[in-house]
Amino acid sequence: MSGASTPAPAPSSLPDRLPREPRWKALLKSERFVLGAIGVVGFLILWEALARSGSINVQFFASPTMIAAAGAREVQDPGFWSDFFISLTEFLSGFLVAIVLGIPLGLAAGWFPKLNYALDPWLNFFNALPRVALLPILVIAFGLGIWSKIAVVFLGAFFAIVIPTVQGVRTVDRKYLDVATSFRASRRLLFTSVVGLATVPFIVTGLRLGMARALIGVVTGELYAATEGLGVIIRRSAETRQGDRMLFGVLIFTLSGIIGVELVRAVERRFQKWRPEGFRR
Residues 89-108 that bind other proteins (CB under 8 A): none
Q: Do residues 203 and 169 make contact, with C-beta atoms less than 8 angstroms apart? A: no
CA angle (53 as vertex; 52, 55 as ends), nearest 5: 110
CA–CA distance, 213 with 95 (Å, rounded to integer)? 9
**7/250 with CB nearer other proteins:** 250
User: Alpha helix locations (H) across the chain?
Assistant: 23-29, 31-53, 64-75, 78-111, 113-128, 135-142, 146-170, 174-182, 187-190, 196-224, 230-239, 243-270
In the complex, the smallest distance separating the C-beta of residue 21 from other proteins, rounded to whole angstroms, is: 20
Tell me if 50 contacts other proteins by CB under 8 A.
no
Q: Which of 140, 182, 184, 273 binds other proteins (CB under 8 A)?
A: 140
Count of positions on this chain that bind other proteins (CB under 8 A): 77
CA–CA distance, 166 with 125 (Å, rounded to integer)? 16
Q: How far apart are the first and last CA of the chain?
A: 57
CA–CA distance, 235 with 156 (Å, rounded to integer)? 22
**9/247 with CB nearer other proteins:** 247
Which window, 15-23, 67-75, 82-90, 165-173, contacts other proteins (CB under 8 A)?
165-173
Amino acid 253 reads: F
CA angle (120 as vertex; 114, 123 as ends), nearest 5: 140
Write out the binding residues for other proteins, residues 256-275 only, by CB under 8 A: 257-258, 261
**50/170 with CB nearer other proteins:** 170
Tell me if 188 contacts other proteins by CB under 8 A.
no
Length of the chain: 281
Q: Do residues 138 and 198 make contact, with C-beta atoms less than 8 angstroms apart? A: no
**18/128 with CB nearer other proteins:** 128
In the complex, the smallest distance separating the C-beta of residue 182 from other proteins, rounded to whole angstroms, is: 11
Tell me if 26 contacts other proteins by CB under 8 A.
no
Write out the binding residues for other proteins, residues 224-263 only, by CB under 8 A: 224, 231, 234-235, 237-239, 241, 243, 246-247, 249-250, 253-254, 257-258, 261
Which window, 45-53, 82-90, 99-107, 124-132, contacts other proteins (CB under 8 A)?
124-132
Tell me if 174 contacts other proteins by CB under 8 A.
yes
Tell me if 48 contacts other proteins by CB under 8 A.
no
Q: Which of 66, 86, 169, 204 binds other proteins (CB under 8 A)?
A: 169
**3/183 with CB nearer other proteins:** 183
Tell me if 195 contacts other proteins by CB under 8 A.
yes
Amino acid 160 reads: A
CA–CA distance, 154 with 211 (Å, rounded to integer)? 10
Tell me if 71 contacts other proteins by CB under 8 A.
no
Tell me if 177 contacts other proteins by CB under 8 A.
yes
Q: Is the dihedral of CA 103, 107, 108, 113 positive or negative?
A: positive
Tell me if 40 contacts other proteins by CB under 8 A.
yes
In the complex, the smallest distance separating the C-beta of residue 16 from other proteins, rounded to whole angstroms, is: 35
CB burial of 215-233 (b: ≥16 within 10 Å; e: otherwise) equals: bbbbbbbbbbbbebbbbbb
